[in-house]
Amino acid sequence: MYQLEEPKYFYFFVCVAILVVMYLLVVVWKRKKQKQFADLALLEKLSPEKSKFKPVLKILMICLALSFLILSLVNPKMGTQLKTIKRQGVDIVFALDVSKSMLAEDIAPNRLEKAKQIISKIIDKLGSDRVGIIIYAGNSYPLLPITTDHAAAKMFLQNANPDMVSSQGTAINEALRLAKTFYDDDTQTNRFLFVISDGEDHEENANSIAKELLNEGIKTYTIGVGTSKGAPIPIKRNGKFIGYKKDNKEEVVITKLNVETLKTIAGKGDGKYILGNNTSSTIEFVENLLLKAEKKEFETKQYSDYKDQFQWFIAIGLLFLILDVFLLNKKTKWVQKLNLFNEKEVK
């Protein structure tokens, strides 16, 4: 396992790219000037010992040297010991609606992005709690199994979109059933399921499944995103707006927030409905809820005793610099005899 202490120094690789571009420009400029001075064949006769390959090799050495020195600034650290650590927390699963209606823009920038923002900020507030993510539309899929790796959860969350689900619709029942399988610790007394959706087209027997979850100790909370006024569903292709979704009568479909459905599901799951349009108040409610919840102690494994590795990258970088110093632009005699690089002798 490794860590990057100063990843900001990766931006220095732009300097390496600039160096390569400048080298190519100088090569082109030199070639033009040489043509103006004399015929290229004549120049080769005037400088028979000049190598065509060595300058390329030298710039390669410099680029490799700079790259390893930049990596030394980033300072990768290696974990040398895997320890079992005891933590206290609760288990939280997010069921995120990624159906097309979540693309409606009655909440800026749209409902789906608002939902992802809420989940991301809740994850930022978590301590040692475990988190899992489910996405659903016409089907439901596990986006991330329950884990203590909050950084991974946020990374997977950013990629969630309607195209990840093969069929459209709102399969809340399937998502709720899938949530049952996420809670892998039978001794955990506090399990929370947060359904983030606009509540549209949810199936009728979702209430009974919420009851089943409650019987297994899983409380269901719902977070609604959208407005009662509603908005059309934009259709985009390659990021460009091409129109709005229409029904069979060629009329623009208006999708609205269905509060009653979400309230009923939350009620049956011994939870509460939260209007998620105000991000800060939603985060505050969830944070207070989790702070009051009884924490269970559990064990997790993680690497410790991270050691600096920058010295290896400095050594390799300096090695390439030394090689560059000893590389001359002249042809190497024994290499010339082997003719490895097609550097034919001029007669």
> DSSP letters of 95-123?
EEE-SGGGG--SSSS-HHHHHHHHHHHHH
Number of domains in the chain: 2
On whether both 146 and 121 belong to a single domain, the answer is yes
What is the number of alpha carbons within 13 Å of residue 244 lying toward its C-beta?
Answer: 14
* Distance, CA of 240 to CA of 260 (rounded, Å): 34
31 or 213, which is more confident?
A: 213
Taking 70 as the threshold, does the pLDDT of residue 105 lie above it?
yes
- Count H helices, E strands: the chain? 11, 13
The pTM score is 0.64
Q: Are residues 124 and 156 in the same domain?
A: yes
Within this chain, do residues 133 and 260 fall inside the same structural domain, yes or no? yes
- 81 in a structural domain: no
Is there a domain that residue 346 lies in? no
Give per-residue pLDDT as tens, 189-222: 688 999 999 988 666 678 888 888 998 889 999 9
Distances (CA, A) of 299 to 83, 147, 184: 10, 12, 13
Within a domain: 237:
yes
Whole-number Å distance between alpha carbons of 103 and 266: 23
Is residue 279 located within the same domain as residue 334? no
d(CA 274, CA 223): 5
One domain for residues 153 and 220: yes
Task: Report yes or no on 101 lying in a domain.
Answer: yes
270 and 141 share one domain: yes
Three-point CA angle 143, 145, 146, nearest 5° = 130
Mean pLDDT across 37-57 = 68
Confidence of residue 22 (pLDDT cuts 50, 70, 90): very high
Domain match, 314 and 292 both: no
pLDDT of residue 248: 86
CB 84 within 8 A of CB 301: yes
Residue 161, domain extent: 86-300
User: Are both 147 and 218 inside the same structural domain?
Assistant: yes
In a domain, 247, yes or no: yes
